[in-house]
């Protein structure tokens, strides 16, 4: 009953998406330690699609997914998971050096004057910024729809999801991995480690050396937008040093100091000081007076030492496959990364459309940490 071709540990966006891809051809078990999938980082993102923001492999993987996000197959979602928004990177006074990276020759960003920025973002404080860089290729992703779409595919394709099924021990018997959980023991020749911030802990259970993943906490605040203003159409706004950002979401404004504090994997919560710093920077940059924070949350963005994702079989442990280290881009890269991971896990060639986006396979394979 519990014998599979693949066992995926972790049912966040990474685990759900690769499990859905694999289930098209194989018997797959998806194990989640919480009582529902998506409770940790996946349920706590800013839901942005920024194909020009992030480490290079994640950009290639994110760009490969835009067609899918705009027009997913009807059995995945009847509506698009992507909505166009636009992003404005503000060069605040004193950020001239940081702004250089936005001025590269191949940059598709539109350089904007203060007046042009005010037309898009009327609360910008006059005199705060030298100029801005506008990207109209960005947008919002409906994370719930995306995650549920992958889970729907997974179930329809015969996959088995087990919740309250945290991996507690992972051992090898011959060529088969045995994963012990409170819901029983599952066996398969391949274990896919998609456990997010817990990636190195799950590897340790299997006797596999760590990658050196660092979970970093980010704190988010929700505040009211200005009354009588159509602020839901405002862009995602960030300064060149990423010292704060804000975006409209669900009739409110999200504000963050873009904190990135290294922590142990845990059920993350917002850091009060980071929230206060974020609100202070936001009020310095804008004319909106925040009198009350309505809600806060925290989440863990997990990074490999080189900030690139880790996707592939571990060369030191047969059948142990890594799918971790998506940092702040795991939602937007989920289509591309899940298709790449499924191909590699089945010893197939990487999808051509992803390679055409300029992905360098060596950037993502775990081999780079094993030499």
Residue whose entry in the numeric block shows the structure tokens 């801005």: 132
Which of 144, 137, 122 has its CA nearest to residue 85?
137
Let me know: does 141 contact 331? Beta carbons within 8 Å.
Answer: yes
Nearer to ligand FAD, 21 or 42 (CB): 42
Q: Report in angstroms the alpha-carbon separations of 101 from 39, 106, 326.
A: 35, 11, 22
Shortest Å distance, C-beta 188 to ligand FAD: 14
Locate 155 and state its tokens: 């179930």
Shortest separation between residue 293's beta carbon and ligand FAD, angstroms:
15
Closest CB to ligand FAD among residues 132, 298: 298
CA dist., res. 124 & res. 284, Å (int): 9
Minimum Å distance from CB 96 to ligand FAD? 27
Minimum distance from CB of 193 to ligand FAD (Å)? 9
| Residue 34 or 242 having the CB closest to ligand FAD | 34
Q: Looking at beta carbons only, is 91 or 335 nearer to ligand FAD?
A: 335
How far is Cα 107 from Cα 96, in angstroms, rounded to an integer? 17
Instruction: Give the up-direction half-sphere exposure of residue 187: CA atoms within 13 A in the CB hemisphere.
Output: 10
Q: Is 336 in a helix, a strand, or coil? A: helix
Which residues contact ligand FAD by CB under 6 A?
Answer: 9-15, 31-34, 39-42, 44-48, 166-167, 194-198, 202, 218, 220, 299-301, 326, 328-332
CB of 205 to ligand FAD, least distance (A): 7
Question: Could you tell me if 181 and 165 are in contact, meaning their C-beta atoms sit under 8 angstroms apart?
Answer: yes
User: Nearer Cβ to ligand FAD, position 52 or 130?
Assistant: 52
Residue 370: strand, helix, or coil: coil
| Burial label, 329 (beta-carbon count in 10 A; 0-12, 13-18, 19+) | buried
Q: What are phi and psi of 219, to 5 degrees?
A: -110, 135
Closest to ligand FAD by CB, 31 vs 240, is 31
Shortest separation between residue 48's beta carbon and ligand FAD, angstroms: 3
- Is the C-alpha dihedral spanning 122, 257, 275, 327 positive or negative? positive
Choose between 159 and 328: whose C-beta lies nearer to ligand FAD. 328
């Amino acid at each position: 009953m519990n014998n599979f071709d693949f066992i995926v540990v972790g049912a966040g966006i990474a685990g759900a998406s690769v499990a859905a891809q694999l289930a098209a051809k194989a018997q797959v078990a998806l194990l989640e330690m919480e009582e529902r999938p998506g409770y940790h980082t996946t349920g706590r993102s800013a839901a942005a699609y920024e194909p020009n923001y992030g480490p290079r492999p994640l950009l290639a993987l994110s760009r490969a997914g835009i067609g899918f996000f705009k027009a997913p197959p009807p059995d995945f979602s009847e509506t698009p998971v992507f909505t166009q928004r636009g992003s404005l990177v503000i060069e605040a006074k004193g950020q001239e050096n940081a702004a250089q990276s936005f001025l590269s020759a191949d940059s598709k960003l539109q350089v904007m004057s203060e007046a042009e920025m005010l037309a898009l973002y009327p609360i910008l404080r006059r005199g705060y910024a030298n100029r801005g860089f506008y990207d109209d290729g960005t947008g919002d992703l409906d994370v719930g729809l995306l995650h549920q779409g992958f889970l729907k595919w997974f179930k329809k394709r015969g996959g088995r999801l087990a919740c309250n099924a945290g991996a507690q021990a992972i051992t090898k018997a011959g060529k088969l991995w045995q994963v012990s959980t409170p819901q029983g023991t599952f066996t398969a020749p391949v274990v896919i480690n998609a456990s997010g911030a817990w990636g190195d802990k799950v590897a340790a259970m299997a006797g596999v050396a760590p990658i050196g993943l660092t979970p970093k906490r980010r704190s988010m605040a929700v505040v009211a937008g200005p009354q009588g203003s159509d602020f839901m159409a405002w862009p995602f706004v960030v300064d060149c040093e990423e010292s704060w950002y804000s975006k409209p979401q669900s009739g409110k404004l999200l504000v963050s100091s873009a904190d990135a504090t290294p922590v142990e994997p845990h059920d993350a919560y917002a850091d009060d000081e980071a929230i206060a710093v974020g609100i202070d920077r936001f009020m310095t940059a804008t004319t909106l007076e925040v009198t009350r924070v309505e809600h806060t949350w925290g989440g863990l963005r997990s990074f490999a030492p080189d900030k690139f994702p880790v996707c592939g079989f571990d060369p030191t442990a047969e059948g142990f496959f890594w799918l971790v280290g998506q940092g702040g881009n795991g939602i937007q890269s989920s289509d591309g990364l899940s298709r790449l991971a499924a191909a590699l896990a089945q010893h197939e060639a990487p999808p051509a459309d992803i390679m055409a986006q300029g992905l360098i396979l060596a950037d993502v394979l775990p081999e780079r940490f094993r030499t």
